[in-house]
Amino acid sequence: MRSVKSFIAAGAATLLSQAVFAADMAIAPPPAYAPAPVVEDFGGWYLRGDIGFSNQRVDRLNNALDANNTSSVQTLNFNTAGIFGLGVGYKVNNWFRADVTGEYRGNSQFFGTDRITYAGGVGTDTYHATKNEWVVLANAYVDLGTWWCITPFIGAGVGGARVAINGFTDQGIANNGGGALPGLAYGDSVAKWNFAWAAHAGLAYKVTPSFTVELAYRYLDMGDGLTGDLRTFDGVNAINNPMTFKHITSHDLKLGVRWDLTSPQVYAPPLIRKG
């Protein structure tokens, strides 16, 4: 009986000593998990295309003979014309990008009237012409943050505009106190390059990681337009008197698309261990 009790006591002491030893052992740390990767907004090249329409203005029509007038009241208007553009750009980071664009601005009908007072009488002129442009701009944009895939942006551009005035006619009626004297003058078509600048504002919507749609407003200053020397239909009275379209500007509304040429980097998901 004593031997049984001794055996039980010895077994209990052994178990107790093993438990104390196990408690003193360091607990192994859990397996390390790889941290989630940080997705960066990489820059890269992109292509763009734009379509839209113009709302154009001209400050005044000037002529070499204006010095003979005592007053002139003009009403001048352009019809809306289409805009078609292409470009290539580079996105530097998630807030700054730049591109170079070239565009054709379609024919816009011009019409105007001018009531002129001069020494000896008054007259009324009616003007007609068409106008189109080629515009090349270097642009820079600042993206102002993204909410629900929509990014507002602002920008500015500088470059050149080739302004072409075609088919100019001047139908004038002069009253010198002895009756109305009608006359018709023509100006040959002329195209000239001017310095141009632009201001942009709009919203961009990222449809996919590589495809973005833009709705944008642009103010565009294209400088002056010019006609050839005014003359009658038979060439009489041909003198150095071209008509100058002073300070042509446009308020444009455009719909554009951008295709990113640099594919975003693909990350593998972190390894998940069980057990």
Q: How far is CA 122 from CA 68, 70, 127, in A?
A: 12, 10, 17
Looking at the domain assignment, is residue 69 inside a domain?
A: yes
Looking at the domain assignment, is residue 74 inside a domain?
A: yes
Looking at the domain assignment, is residue 20 inside a domain?
A: no
Looking at the domain assignment, is residue 181 inside a domain?
A: yes
Please tell me the predicted confidence (pLDDT) of residue 180.
47
Here the contacts of 68-71 (C-beta below 8 Å, separation 24 or greater) are 68/118, 68/119, 69/116, 69/117, 69/118, 70/117, 70/118, 70/119, 71/116, 71/117
Helix (H, G, I), strand (E, B) or coil at 16: helix
Please tell me the predicted confidence (pLDDT) of residue 237.
63
Please tell me the predicted confidence (pLDDT) of residue 273.
47
Looking at the domain assignment, is residue 257 inside a domain?
A: no
Q: What is the pTM of this model?
A: 0.77
Looking at the domain assignment, is residue 220 inside a domain?
A: no
Q: How many structural domains compose the chain?
A: 1
Helix H or strand E encompassing 127: strand 121-143
Backbone angles phi, psi at 139, to 5 degrees: -120, 150
Backbone angles phi, psi at 267, to 5 degrees: -110, 140
Q: How far is CA 151 from CA 29, 95, 104, 143, in A?
A: 45, 10, 27, 6
Looking at the domain assignment, is residue 235 inside a domain?
A: no
Helix (H, G, I), strand (E, B) or coil at 79: coil
CA 93/CA 69 separation, integer angstroms? 57
Q: Which domain holds residue 101?
A: 62-199
Backbone angles phi, psi at 113, to 5 degrees: -130, 155
**Residue pLDDT tens, the chain, 275 long:** 555 455 455 555 554 455 544 445 555 555 555 555 544 555 799 999 999 999 999 999 998 777 667 778 999 999 999 999 999 999 999 899 999 999 999 999 999 999 988 777 788 889 999 999 999 999 999 999 999 999 999 999 999 999 999 999 998 876 655 444 467 888 999 999 999 999 999 999 999 999 999 999 999 999 999 999 888 776 666 567 899 999 999 999 999 999 999 865 544 455 454 44
Looking at the domain assignment, is residue 211 inside a domain?
A: no
